[in-house]
A and B are shown apart, each in its own frame.
Chain A
């Protein structure tokens, strides 16, 4: 249509003006980078708005955490949180020479844990119980994660602006919506961890708790306990983190220790853990497989695999599926039903695959918040 327009002499003045405007548009669009620039401005604005939103999430999480601290009688909660989030990083061990990397990594992680513990102990009044302290450690980590992501995204944004790395900016705006969804979930985790309500990730410890609800919990490793019960003639050992505070304990090391104490006479090891579902899968569905079901950086998982391999003990895995968001927010009913199912599945495995009289160990992996 446009190209069949008659020349300026034809219809009217309006037509001439319109024709000129359209021609100008075409020239601008075809021969300048105005189109790209206008898009970049849009990406830029998008990222800026998202950054402001993350700032808001940080502020909300901050306020809730500070309120939690105030209720416990901590003076100056703002500085307490600032003092942590500004000084919390772990430098990864050298991996180009992998000899004893697990030992080195585990050493670094433990140093970090004890550092956080010492920090929390130094700021908390003496009369506060351990449960509140461990829960607060999680709150500190939540604040740190939000703050770290904010700083990192801001860095990418400013860096791409400074050096005109537009592709960075575009990539950033492409991934941001997903990152924000995750950060929203992290922000929501403040609530269960300050109240002490089980989260989705507590599924593993909860299965263990269901198998022996009222049994004595005996400390075996730091922040890790075990119970021994008789299950239809089998000696059932149950390992989980020490609850009901928000900790994951050291299930791998505890398992290794227990197996050594039993001199390797274990018929079967069953690990139970929450696992990330695939999109489209149902939350709370239970699946059974082989291996160590645990999502730690390495030390705990390898401890399980090593001890199982050393004594040739079959290693089963039972997982309860959920989304990353469900894993860190209050346990939903679907997941709770999954927990009940998983407990039945574990019993079934023991009944069918472990002969009466022998030892079997069940390890409930995950954060034991709200589960004793």
Chain B
């Protein structure tokens, strides 16, 4: 019971200190929200010119869309294979950006 008998003055001082802390701390805590340097994984989609076969593998430097693969042939019909598309996939985290879609 004795501990609770704080007079008005002390109470005000405590209040002042609390207010001071409450204003300063958020300022100190709100450091730079730095963006993590997330690199996407890049894939290459390979397709047959006759459109009967396709596969996806990891991107290899030198790949470009429309490149005809010289060293391979379509396992189904034996015609030329070409690179149909190159795209990247980000780790899950980044997708949270779009909440309303």
Contact = CB atoms under 8 A, between A and B. Distances in A.
A335 B87 contact: yes
B87 A332 contact: yes
Interface stretch (A155-163, A195-203, A307-315): A195-203
Given A209-B65, A372-B64, A15 B101 contact: no
Contacts of A17: 9, 13
A170 interface: no
Interface residues of A, number: 45
Interface in A1-28: 5, 11-19, 21-22
Interface residues of B, number: 37
B84 A210 contact: yes
A214 B101 contact: no
A371 B9 contact: no
Interface in A322-372: 329-333, 335-336, 339-340, 370-372
B16 A18 contact: yes
B39 A191 contact: yes
B80 A214 contact: yes
Contacts of B9: 11-19
B86 A197 contact: yes
Contact of A213 (B27, B34, B84): B84
Given A15-B9, A214-B49, A281 B85 contact: no
Interface of B: 7-10, 12-13, 16, 27, 32, 34-35, 39-40, 42, 47, 49, 59, 61-68, 80, 82, 84-90, 98, 100-101
Interface of A: 5, 11-19, 21-22, 42, 49, 53, 184, 191, 195-198, 202, 206, 209-210, 213-214, 243-244, 280-283, 329-333, 335-336, 339-340, 370-372
